[in-house]
Structure 1
């Protein structure tokens, strides 16, 4: 069994200054939402074998706050430039290359890639994937490389406060 938690970075400030989109930090609300998401995921007793994120400032900020809530040491975070604005296909290739020793993986990245990937895995289109949302998926497989469309079992969704019902 494999477990994948897809997390869209929390709300970011509208402008990143000289660094542009890549350097956009979390807004105050985004920081609050990411910290709360970490605490809510901790209640699910998640113990990630791998915790990776886009190296964009807003994704890294989200990952750090979620990690703190989960009790994951910051040095265990893997910021990867190739996850920045990655397409669903790029994300799938990244997942397929994960070592099988990783049973639970948390991934903080961006839309539209995350929403499209979730649709591929579950076979159902999301109504939305707001910033600061986590989507838990399970795969009845032994190898990440053998994932195919429709393999996932939807486990949970954690939405930021005030975001309504499931995507």
Structure 2
């Protein structure tokens, strides 16, 4: 059994219009929501084997906040450039290359691909994975390269507005 936690980055700031998209930081709501959601997952007993982030500043900041809440060493967070602007097929390509000794992966990235990917496994359509939303998907496989649209199921879908 393999578990993928898709975490959409926390709310980002658009204050500085001169920053490139990849360099946008978290805004005050994002700085509140990321630690909150990390603590929520900690209370659920979530203990990922590895945290992998898009290189975008807002995704990395979200991953750092989750790492702190989950007692995961920040220096072990992996940055994967393919996650930034990834399509659903790109996400499958990223997933299939993970080591099979890792059973639980937390991936920090972006919409629209996260919502589209989650909907492959949703019983009821998810309109949008909101900022700092987390979708946990379990796959009945032993190897990451065997993950497909047919062998997973959503275990939970959490987001800040359910609680705040």
TM-score (norm: length of structure 1): 0.91
Q: Which runs of 5+ in 2 are unaligned?
A: none
Distance 2:114 2:135 in 1: 10
- Decide which moves more: 24-33 or 114-123: 114-123
Distance 1:126 1:159 in 2: 12
Distance 1:155 1:95 in 2: 18
Residue correspondence of structure 1 range 11-160 to structure 2 within 5 A = 11-122=11-122, 124-160=124-160
Secondary structure of the equivalent of 1:19?
A: coil
Distance 2:151 2:14 in 1: 36
8 Å Cα contact 1:123-1:149 kept in structure 2 = no
TM-score (norm: length of structure 2): 0.93
8 Å Cα contact 1:16-1:23 kept in structure 2 = no
TM superposition shift of 1:15? 4.4
Q: How big is the alpha-carbon RMSD for the aligned residues of Structure 1 and Structure 2?
A: 1.7
Give CA-to-partner distance per residue, 1:78-116, whole Å, 9 cap, x none.
112221111111011100111101100000100011111
Distance 1:8 1:161 in 2: 14
Q: Which runs of 5+ in 1 are unaligned?
A: none
Give CA-to-partner distance per residue, 1:114-143, whole Å, 9 cap, x none.
111112244653122110100111111111
TM superposition shift of 1:18? 3.7
Distance 2:69 2:27 in 1: 18
- Decide which moves more: 79-88 or 63-72: 79-88
Note closer, same or farther for the CA distance 1:123–1:96 as it changes in structure 2 (3 Å cut): farther
